[in-house]
Structure formats: C-alpha cells, structure tokens
Amino acid sequence: MKIHVISERGKLVGTFIPQPVQPSDPRTPVCTPVARRGQKLHEMEVANAEAYYRERRSAELHKIVKKKLKLK
C-alpha cells in the first residue's frame, strides 16, 4: 500500500494513508497532505500500513519509514 510521508530537514513530520475513493458516491471528499515550504512530500510503498494504525502501532510504522527514507 502506498502512503504519503512529509519530512522536514531530514526529520519525519507525519504519515498519511490515503483512503480508497467510494465510486458509488461522487460527493465523497478526496484529501491528500500538502508539504509546506521547506518540507518534502514522499510517496512510498509499505506493506500492511493500515494494520499499523488499526493496531495502534504507528511508532513501528514510523521506524520503518525513517529507515527507508534515512530520516532522523
């Protein structure tokens, strides 16, 4: 699953897991994070990313992201 990651000056700022769009309802909002000036937006593949959030293991997900992107 692809996730969005925002970093700033080599540090992790946050992660975002895009939700699938419901094609049956065109009014469903679609959102994505936007990086501010000085920040970078990354898109990367992480297996079972939703499971980390569901099981309240986001710290583990952040470790994986930091290692893949070589962030502090």
Domain count, the chain: 1
Say what percent of the chain tops pLDDT 90. Answer: 68
Give the structural domain span for 6. Answer: 2-21+30-69
Tell me the pLDDT of the chain averaged across its residues.
90
pTM of the model: 0.82
pLDDT digits (tens, 9 = 90+) for 47-61: 998 899 889 999 999
Cα 55 to Cα 7, 28, 29, 58: the distances in Å are 24, 26, 25, 8
- Give me the mean pLDDT over the 32-40 stretch: 94
pLDDT at 23 over 90: no
Length in residues, the chain? 72
**Per-residue pLDDT band at 28 (split at 50, 70, 90):** confident
